[in-house]
Structure 1
Amino acid sequence: MRENKIAIITGASRLNGIGASICHLLADNGFDIFFTYWSIYDQEMPWGIKENEPLKLKNDLLKKGVRVSSLELDLTKEDSPTELFEKVIEHLGYPLVLINNAAYSTNNDYSNLTFQELDKHYAVNIRATTMLSTLFAQKFKFKSGGRIINLTSGQFKGAMPGELAYATTKGAIDALTITLSAEVAKLGITVNAVNPGPTNTGWMTDVIKTELLPLFPFGRIGEPSDVARLIKFLVSEDAGWITGQIIHSEGGFIR
């Protein structure tokens, strides 16, 4: 088993979020963790965030006996990818895994979408994801075992009315995943995307849960741990022959 495994997970601010669940499961499997968060965004969203959540996540991870570092980072800034990798290398070393989990999402449609709102979605959802991924590949110091995993939302499985900017920018991740995987395979890096479907991370109201539940054949809504378990497999040596795939792990969700 490889030692000094370092994983970067972006967008791991909330304790009940997908990012935090990924951090916990990878730490349980011996990865040192570097996560980013951006509290200002979460504070503006309906689900909100408690002031100490990122610190509590860090402390909980440290109890697992791995090295942990974190950074509050605004991924809309053009220099954010460079800043992130400088901090990761400084505090932990060269990363083996990159999980592009951070996302920007607000409700909009054809009638009210603005340049400014579209640009915010683009900056986080595809520009930051792309530049983080390319920097990861450029700085990759190993001969094998590299993993880039992008979180997507199944944009090509059906329409997402009311989320025009989100669907447009997240949909580009599929194209990025397929092409980048072909470019970096020679470096020993796989690139895959995971679509977890609707996941209970705090944004669902009781009304939304009631509407969604009949669409899940297993009779329950997806949880962050479902996503984390798939990612645990994809970063493992057993998944070394899987690349360029968009994996729809959403419990048979019926659109």
Structure 2
Amino acid sequence: MKCALVTGGSRGIGSAICQKLAEDKKYHILINYQGNQEAAQKTLEEVVRKGATGEIIKFDVSDAEEVKNVLSAWQEANPEAIVEVIVNNAGITRDGLFMWMSLEDWNSVVNTSLNGFFNVTNFFIQKMLRNKYGRIINMVSVSGVKGTPGQTNYSAAKGAVVAATKALAQEVAKRSITVNAVAPGFIRTDMTGDLDEKELVKLIPANRFGEAGEVADLVAFLASERAGYITGEVININGGIYS
């Protein structure tokens, strides 16, 4: 059984990625979530409706012990399963000016995006190397590439994942494992629901917010065999806001 794991796969961009990967019918989709079981269930229903198989797997990516325990138990229950694709999508924001930022808001954002990348990817990397094949896609952000005021914590976390992407890509390329980052700009999801779209659109050359499905299309391509010579890249998908 070949599997694709999407962290934070229950809603928004994560859910769109699960559904897009399901369309190829190549992978059993592992939908990770932390809090919203109902949303995870809905995503699973869509995956099945598209003709793929899948399951929900609950853990907090920032909790190293929990990640190890849950994934170890899953691997023991599915000894034949091979995770070929990892999409590190789980992330949270705790926005605010740096001078007023609490240590908790700093740590929670860094732990989810950066340590979450480590906890999940590190669990599977040796297996991927033995298997001599893999696709690792890290969801970063325009904030991690250009920096966004009011998001010093988020920009730091995503920027660190950008650097980790480039380093890890060089370590594992010989074994046909690619590691890339996808950096969305303003995408219409729950996460951007509170933003003033009318005002922000003026900053975007394409004159609109992106759709989660457009990001999912890019991720699905990077997860495919056709993208085997693309690695260590940060691909911006932002309507020209930062180019």
What is the TM-score when the length of structure 2 is the normalising length? 0.90
Which residue, out of 24, 28, 37, partners 1:32? Answer: 28
Number of equivalences: 239
SS for the counterpart of 1:194 is strand
Matches within 5 A, 1:135-174: 135-140=123-128, 141-144=130-133, 146-155=134-143, 157-174=145-162
In structure 2, relative to structure 1, the CA distance for the partners of 1:205 and 1:94 (3 Å cut) is closer
Separation in 1 of the partners of 2:193 and 2:84? Answer: 37
Q: Is the 8 A contact 1:7 1:32 kept in 2?
A: yes
Q: Does 1:231 align with 2:219?
A: yes
Shift of 1:254: 5.0
Q: Is the 8 A contact 1:24 1:61 kept in 2?
A: yes
SS for the counterpart of 1:243 is coil
Shift of 1:227: 0.6
Q: Does 1:7 align with 2:4?
A: yes
Separation in 2 of the partners of 1:207 and 1:134? Answer: 35
Separation in 1 of the partners of 2:73 and 2:238? Answer: 34
Which residue, out of 200, 208, 211, partners 1:212? Answer: 200
Runs of 4 or more above 3 Å deviation: 203-207
Structure number with the higher helix fraction is: 2
Deviations 1:66-108 (A, max 9, x none): 2211122122312133134325433471200000000021112
Separation in 1 of the partners of 2:155 and 2:96? Answer: 10
2:18 counterpart residue number: 23
Shift of 1:127: 0.9
Separation in 2 of the partners of 1:63 and 1:147? Answer: 25
Q: Does 1:66 align with 2:55?
A: no
Query: Residue type of the partner of 2:131?
Result: F
In structure 2, relative to structure 1, the CA distance for the partners of 1:207 and 1:115 (3 Å cut) is closer
Unaligned runs of 5+ in 2: none
Structure number with the higher strand fraction is: 2
Shift of 1:156: 5.3
Separation in 2 of the partners of 1:162 and 1:244? Answer: 28
SS for the counterpart of 2:138 is strand
Separation in 1 of the partners of 2:189 and 2:59? Answer: 21
Shift of 1:134: 2.2
Percent identity among equivalent residues? Answer: 33
Matches within 5 A, 1:17-166: 17-30=12-25, 31-39=27-35, 52-89=38-75, 90-91=77-78, 93-140=81-128, 141-144=130-133, 146-155=134-143, 157-166=145-154
Unaligned runs of 5+ in 1: 40-48
What is the TM-score when the length of structure 1 is the normalising length? 0.86
Separation in 1 of the partners of 2:221 and 2:21? Answer: 10
Q: Is the 8 A contact 1:182 1:244 kept in 2?
A: yes
Which residue, out of 171, 192, 199, partners 2:187? Answer: 199
Deviations 1:130-150 (A, max 9, x none): 232222211224223x10000
SS for the counterpart of 1:139 is helix
Separation in 1 of the partners of 2:71 and 2:221? Answer: 24
